[in-house]
Amino acid sequence: MPGTDLDDRLARLLRTVQDGVTAGNPAAVARRGRRRRLARRTAGVGAVAVLLAGVVAVAALLPARGQRPAATGPTAAGVPDGVVPWPDARPSENPGELVVTVQAGVGARSRPSDPCWEGYQPEARAEADRMVVTIRRFRSRATLPAGQGCAAVGVLWNVTVSLPEDLRGRPLVDGATGQRRPLVEGLLVPGWLPDGWQGFKTGRERGGRWRRSYGWAASPKSTAKLPPLDWVDVAAISPRILWGYNRLPDTPVVGHTQVRGHRAEIDADPRNRSRHVNVRWREGEVAYVVTGQVRRGATLRQAQEVVVRIAQSLR
């Protein structure tokens, strides 16, 4: 019926107006499309905001992440003087400890009351993928008298570091430089050296594992008696080169001794111009040689006694 058709047309027209679109009007259709896209974007932003709020809420409920463990040695009684690098480390005789070597001055052996004294404080910090070891240096609070100075002789000084937890295969990192450093197994250090002596350098030996040199480090004004040696090298090498290492083919064996529970051979050649005395022995898969260069005016016998004593003090 005509009345019913009219009502249907009016209803469709009202729905079109409610949607904001006039039938047959392209501009209105475009406006409706823009409104729908804006609504979808608003809904997406709202969902992201809700998600972020949820993450923040969960993080607030979780326990705070604690710092990784660290172990710090006793504070040295002096004035802080920065941090110093170290080249390598070795396991200590005590579990949970390492020994690192730093370049120090002759005052490292003195007391804090000595104006030239210097002390070292270790710190080890465990991280998920590494162990960071930092060595801090301290200077004496005492004032150096006018006209005097500290000997600028570089020596090697061993610092014992307590680890907060086991290494578990993690690399060692020097806290002063941020660089990785090796853990050297089997590195031996003398427990005794002649007065005025210190370590000078450490390095790798061809066909060997490591080598460390020791020599005179005292001030020229020192009253310490000069030993019958200019220097001593301690080297860890492969057993296959033990008997020919630092030795001429016809160098005679002049004696034997006990070193670290092992039989050691002593050889020296008075015909050799450099006049070396060697103590050599083997410990399983590692061999060791302690070599001393005889000082001019000293006898081979005098030099031999000192080289043997240094070898027997190795730990």
> Which CATH number covers residue 302?
3.40.1000
Residues 205 and 147 in one domain: no
Residues 240 and 211 in one domain: yes
Asked whether residue 314 carries a pLDDT value surpassing 80, the answer given is yes
Asked whether residue 209 carries a pLDDT value surpassing 90, the answer given is no
Residue 120 confidence class, pLDDT cut points 50, 70, 90: very high
Residues 15 and 44 in one domain: yes
C-alpha 175/C-alpha 124 separation (Å) is 9
Tell me the per-residue pLDDT of 254-283, one tens digit each, with 9 for 90 and over: 999 999 999 999 999 877 666 899 999 999
Question: What is the percentage of the chain residues whose pLDDT exceeds 90?
Answer: 39
What is this structure's pTM? 0.58
Show the tokens assigned to 267: 């050889």
Residues 259 and 310 in one domain: yes
Residues 196 and 302 in one domain: yes
Domain that holds residue 306: 186-315
Residues 117 and 157 in one domain: yes
C-alpha 272/C-alpha 275 separation (Å) is 5
Q: Which contacts of 256-259 are long-range, i.e. CB under 8 A and separated by 24 or more positions?
A: 257/308, 257/311, 257/312, 258/312, 259/288, 259/311, 259/312, 259/314
Residues 124 and 205 in one domain: no
Using an 8 Å Cβ cutoff, are 176 and 221 in contact? no
CA distances from 258 to 67, 211, 298 (A): 49, 21, 24
Residues 170 and 78 in one domain: yes
- DSSP per position, 86-134: ---EEE-SSTTEEEEEEEE-GGGGS-TTSTT-EEEEEEEEEETTEEEEE
- Find, among 249, 289, 248, the residue nearest to 266 by Cα: 289
Asked whether residue 287 carries a pLDDT value surpassing 60, the answer given is yes
Residues 7 and 33 in one domain: yes
Tell me the per-residue pLDDT of 54-67, one tens digit each, with 9 for 90 and over: 544 444 444 444 45
Using an 8 Å Cβ cutoff, are 254 and 264 in contact? no
- Encoded amino acid at 183, one letter: L
Last residue of a domain, one of 168, 183, 198: 183
How many structural domains comprise the chain?
3
Last residue of a domain, one of 123, 157, 183: 183
C-alpha 262/C-alpha 93 separation (Å) is 19
- Encoded amino acid at 80, one letter: P
Asked whether residue 151 carries a pLDDT value surpassing 80, the answer given is no
